[in-house]
Each structure stands twice: as structure tokens, then as C-alpha cells.
Amino acid sequence: MSNLSRRLLSNYRRSQLMLYTIALPIFFVLALAGPLESIRRVALVVIGFSAIIFFHELGHFLVARWCSVRCDVFSIGIGPRMVGWRKGVGLSFGPDPRESKADKQKDNTAHGAVTAGDIEQTATTTAKKNEGDTDYRLSWLPLGGYVRMLGQDDTDPTKVSEDPHSFNMRPIWQRMCIVSAGVIMNVICAAIIFSIIFHPSVGVKFPPAIVGNVVYDSPAWHARTADNDRLMPGDRLITIDGTKPRGFLEFSDVVLASALSDGASSIRFEFIREGWDKSKFIDIKPKKSEGSGFLAVGIEQPVGNAIYGSQEELSEEAKKRPELANFKSGDKITSVNGQPVESYFAIHPIVQATAPNPVKLGLSNEKQGAREVEIKPTAVARLGGPGLPTVFGFGPRVTIDALFRGRYLVFFQSSGPGERGGLKVDDIVTRVGDVQNPSTERFREVIGSNAGNAVDVHVLRDGKTEKLTVTPALGERDGRTVGMINVQLGSDLDTAIAVIHDKTAKVVELGLPADARITKIGDTAVTSWTDVYAAARKLSPGQEVDVVFTAGEKTFTQKLALTSDEHKAVNEHVEFRLNLPVENMLQVQKAQNAFDAMMMGAEHTKKFILQTYMTLRGLFIGTVSPTNLHGIVGITKIGHDVQDRGFVYLLFVLGMVSVNLAVANFLPLPIVDGGLFLLLILEKIRGKPLSLKVQAAISYVGIVILAGLFLFVTYNDIGLFYK
């Protein structure tokens, strides 16, 4: 055995790599066999993520070598060196032999242990002429990677060199090419991955551009075709401004076209409806959505007819909604009231015609077989509408629908006054201040007029009344400074308690008790506000009917009539839904040939880059929650879970990671490639670089920002395991 072989074997035995190279193959073999499926999945995610990092760093490395910059280290992973290879040295384990010798030389020099001649001789032997400049290594932590170039250090800009082959000595245009090469390589890598998944023999599912719902009072709601037709749920959009993509039009294409429009011009959509022989065109002018903050046309994504969620998730939700206990994971709705259905669009009109009576759903399930269940529809406010209207001047009780948190430093949140006061989602408000069973308007009046003052709030929670105290904070509504507690109000539809919402209505004079509930409208008995809205739809405006109220043991009967506004609102602003957790409608997107697959890969890469920038904008304007940000732990969890749908979906996730890495790396932030590129632009404008002290300060700020961001996304990642 040669001396080199003995030395390598000795280093291998002393290093921790021996343990890993023996243990990991055993784990992988067992994982592939089935018992350790999770290990196999995690291994695939780590390998895929490392490959993306490899291509990113390869971009920097290749362009740096092309520009004659000396590269000392090419590392996949960060932290201590695990194993590496250098030309002329070969494979070595642990620390880089050259770096170890250099460190030892510095240490001996500091202690006066060697002479100047010894130092020169050691330096000569450390970098032999037949040795390569670059140490290609694997480091212990698979959280990234890096290329260390002579004269360039992200964490310490003062480490410059006067060597002509150093990074800092190259022309600015060459340094710009080196810095941007990693991002460009990530874009190319993403395009290749997407080309693979769109291959005719593969394919991946996306939501098609089918109208799921039209938001009330939105641009799409008001838009009409040349023959006065309008968009309806189930209509399929096929082109946007005359452009038809490869494959089918995806719903994300509609979102992007709207968000990126100028807001002054209309977008022409071509659409077709089931049973039509010819398509039609409709022009829609986008406007800013209050929910997303982006320009939108008001078309909602389509949903399917399959129940979404695991059995554990359904069982947990059934604790709040007992009607879900009859549904199983994997159920597919095949009929409604005996009528066969293939999509949710067919279900919706049957539910509208049946409400408030229960509907019979035919279900099919590979494990459970075919069966039938009953479920009662619930009245809801039409999406985008002004909310649930009054009936005879009455409305339902107020509930707490959501709790909003304040935000500071973009990413971090603080609880609002309502949450601090003890309010919880689904609480029914029975009193606020001195007002019993307040309407939405009265609730806001009491809270708004008591900024900084403690207000008693009584709520019904799990069948028990609790007294809470909230202190509204100063806020702004409609240009006025008012008290706010950062909650979203909902409606109690399970009972028919009659709360006066319209102070000008005739019912104000009736003097009904605060706990009075409607029990009958005409000949129709009612027990909930869903029943009330369904009964009101059968009435004509101005038609007087006997309305029966019950409070305790007392009964009151009064002749009342719907106003014209109430009649219109009940029919336009209210719809009935089953409120089932159904999955989004998905359709397999694939190319017709290999060339089309490559073009689709490039088109989707561009689209996903734009979507990533839209997400970042949403983070800063507050329409996207920072809890959606994830790091390597979250990526691994998502990559692990998505393999339930097949390996191709892991490839899709890795493609999206490559896109996000490209966008994130080119943001104008310290340390990352975009920040370095910005400094090079400043250097070109000024004619000289920023001082080393300023560059060092910028780097330190970048380290703090990235460290804080790393901790934040890791916190989010840990939360994924508890969802």
C-alpha cells in the first residue's frame, strides 16, 4: 500500500465520515425497502436541494474561472469541511491540508518557532506548482454552499488582494457577470426542471382557468359580452388578449395578467361554456382588490367535488361542525338529491333551489364504498358583497369571525386589543357596554367611542356566558379617528334571534325583548337565520305577512313587510352553501412534444418569478402573511409531504425552490448577490468602491438581517409540524 493510500485510510478512520459512510447506506437501503420511508423522502429532498445549491455555485465558479479569478474553495454545504478533493493532492477528510499547513505556519510564526527561511520553504511546499487552486469540498451542514474567491469574502469585505487573479482586481463588468451567474444558473436550472415535468410522458396538475365564482360588484360582475351575456361559474377562459399559451390556460395566468396590467385598459378574455359551439369575448377592466392589494378582475378559483383533508383533520374540524362527522377522507360527491354531478358548478344551483332544506349527497370512496349523507345548507354573504342584509329591519347576532394582529418590522406581529382582552374566534357577542345583543353597527359605535377606555364585552362560548374587558386602541375608519380592537365580525346564523340592525325600521316601535327570536314567517316555521333568509326570498317587496316572535314563554305576532331594498339584497347578496372542505379543481398540464415541454418550462419559469415578486410585494404591503416564509426545514417538510402525490411533485417543489433562490439572491440586500451587484453599480457611478469600513458595516448589517430572518423562518418551519 502506498504512503498516500495509508494516509487517506488513516484520515478516514479518524474522521466522523467513517460513521456516516457506514450508517447512511444502511438507512437508505432500509428506507428503499419501506420501513424508513420518511428517511428516503428526506434524503431525496436534501439531495435535490443540494443539487440546486450546486448549480447556483457552479454558475459563480465557471464565470469566475472564465474571468481568470482564482477560486480557493468550491463548497456544497457550509460549516466545517467534511471531505474534499484538490488536484495534485487527491481526496482528503477533515480540514483542508493546505489550509492546515498555512494555519500552522501562522501559529508558529506568532510564537517565534520558525525562521523566515522556514516560512518561505513551508509556503513553497504548501502550494506546489502541480497542485490545483481549488478545494472541491462537502461541508457538514447542507444549508447552502459557497465559492471562496481570492479577494472576495461576503462576511469580511476587507479581505482584498493585489493579486491580478483576485476578484477585486477584475473589471467591474466581469465582477457583475460573476455575481449574477449564480442567479442565472438557478433560472436555467428551474427551466430544465419544469421542462422535465411538462414532458408528454409526465405532467403535473394545475388549477385551470375556469370561473369558480364571480365576486359581487367586481369588474367581472359588471362586464358583459356583445350580446349582453356575462361570466358564469363553470365558464372556461381560453385566451387572454388573443394569446393562447401552450397547453391549457391556467388560473394563475388570469391572476398575473390582471395584477400586471396598467389598470387603465381592459383585458379581453375569450371564454366558452359547456354546450356552446362557439366561444365569446368579454372585456374586463381590472381594479385594485382590497383583499390582495393587487389589480384583479374578480374571478375566483374553481373547486372540485372531492373532500379535502386527512381523516385526522376532518375529525378535528367535526368537533366544531358535527355535520362533518359523516364525511371521510377521499370522499367524492357524485350526486345531489339523486341528480348525478361531476363538478361543484353542478352542485351549487341545486343547493340554492333546495335551501333551507337538507340536501342528500351521494358519495363514493375507494375505502368506504358508495353511500348517502344529508347536510343542511347555510346562508352566507355573497363573495365581495356588502354582507348579510336585514329582514324586516332585523339581523343576526354578532360573532367574532377573526382576530387581527398588528405588525412591526414587516415580519413580526403583536396581538390586537381584542385578542389581549380574551376574545376568541366563534365567540357570540351577547352584550357590549350597556347594549344587549348589539348589531354590527352598534358594536362598532360602542367600541369606536371608547378609545383608550375599558369596555365590558359579554360573549357566549361553548354554551357558557363569559365577561371580558377590552380596551380599544386608536385607529382610523372612513377618515375618522375611532377606537378599534382588531377583530372581524361575523354573524350567528344557528339561531334566529332578532337583533335590530335598522334603526329606521318599523320594528323599532315594537319594543321587543333583546332575546326575542323569530319562530315563524307567514306559514313557514324558522329556527335559524338560514331559514329566515330562505323564507324571505319567497316574499314580494311590500307584501305583509304575520311574523311570530318568541321571548321566553311569551309570543308576539306582528304584520311586517320587506322593503324593496331588503328584497333586492336578500336575493342578490345572500347565497346558500354546504361549506364543505373541497379540494381545488386541478387538471394535468403537459406538452405535446419535447420542444413544447422546453418552451412551457421557460414560460412557467418566467411566470413563477413574477409570482415570487408579487408575493414579496404582498409581504411588505401586509396582504401576505409572513408565516408563509419557510427555510430549509420547511422546504424539507413540504418536499417530504408532497411526495404523497408522486416524485414529479417533488421535482416541481425543487423547481420552485430554484426560482425562489434566484429571486431572493438578487434582492438588493447586504451579503446576497443582489446587494453585491448594487455595490458594483455604485462603484461604477462613483468611479471608486465604497470604503472598506463602509462595506464591512454593510456586511455586518446583512449578517444580522439574515440571522434574524433565519430564526424567523425556522420558527415558521417548526410550526409546520403542528398543523
- Tens-digit pLDDT profile for residues 194-233: 999 999 999 999 999 999 989 988 999 999 999 999 999 8
Q: Are residues 132 and 160 in the same domain?
A: yes
Percentage of the chain exceeding pLDDT 70: 86
Once rounded to an integer, what is the mean pLDDT over residues 369-376?
A: 90
Are 45 and 139 in the same domain?
A: yes
Residues 372, 248, single domain; the answer is no
**Nearby residues of 214 by Cβ (< 8 Å), 6 or more positions away:** 220, 221, 230, 231, 232, 233, 298, 299, 300
555 shares its domain with 409: yes
Same-domain pairing of 277 and 179: no
Looking at residue 18, what is its pLDDT?
A: 46
Res 185 pLDDT > 70? yes
In a domain, 346, yes or no: yes
Same-domain check for residues 446 and 355: no
Residue 93 sits in the same domain as residue 155: yes
3-class secondary-structure state, position 533: helix
**Per-residue pLDDT at 20:** 47
SS3 for 85-125 is EECCCEEEECCCHHHHHHHHHHHHHHCCCCCHHHHHHHHHH
pTM: 0.77
Q: How confident is the model at residue 102 (pLDDT cuts 50, 70, 90)?
A: low
Q: What is the distance, to the nearest Å, from the Cα of residue 155 to the centroid of all Cα atoms in its chain? A: 31
| Domain co-membership, 293 together with 313 | no
* 54 and 190, same domain (yes or no): yes
Q: Which element (helix H / strand E) includes 283?
A: strand 280-284
Mean pLDDT of 417-440: 88
- Whether 394 has a pLDDT exceeding 80, the answer reads yes
Beta carbons of 150 and 61 less than 8 angstroms apart: no
Within-domain flag for 613: no
Q: Which domain holds residue 369?
A: 303-376
Residue range 50-71, pLDDT digits in tens: 889 889 999 999 999 999 999 9
Is residue 321 located within the same domain as residue 295? no
Mean pLDDT of the chain: 83
- CATH number assigned to the domain comprising residue 442: 2.30.42.10
Residue 504's pLDDT is 62
DSSP class per residue in 547-609: EEEEETTEEEEEEEE--HHHHHHHHHSEEEE----EEEP-EEE--SSHHHHHHHHHHHHHHHH
DSSP H or E segment with residue 72: strand 71-86
Tell whether 257 and 327 lie within a shared domain.
no
Q: Are 481 and 460 in contact (CB under 8 A)?
A: no
Q: Would 573 be classed as within a structural domain?
A: no
Inter-residue contact 21 to 13 (CB < 8 Å): no
650-705 confidence digits (pLDDT tens): 999 999 999 999 998 898 887 788 888 998 999 899 888 888 888 878 878 877 87
Q: According to the model, what pLDDT value does residue 709 have?
A: 78
Q: What local confidence, expressed as pLDDT, does residue 9 receive?
A: 47
pLDDT: which is higher, 700 or 4: 700
Checking if the pLDDT of 401 tops 60, the result is: yes
What pLDDT, on the 0 to 100 scale, is given for residue 419? Answer: 86
Average confidence (pLDDT) over 547-566:
89
Give the residue from 589, 622, 652 where a domain finishes: 589
**pLDDT at res. 42:** 83
Cα–Cα nearest to 611, from 127, 315, 253, 181: 253
Band the pLDDT of 12: cuts 50, 70, 90: very low
pLDDT 10s digits, 493-547: 999 988 887 666 566 667 777 788 999 999 999 999 999 999 999 999 989 999 9
In a domain, 386, yes or no: no
In the chain, how many domains are there?
4
The answer to the question of residue 143 being in a domain is: yes
88: left (phi over 0), alpha (psi -120 to 50) or beta: left
Cα–Cα distance for residue pair 578/202, rounded to 1 Å: 35
* 704 in the same domain as 682: yes
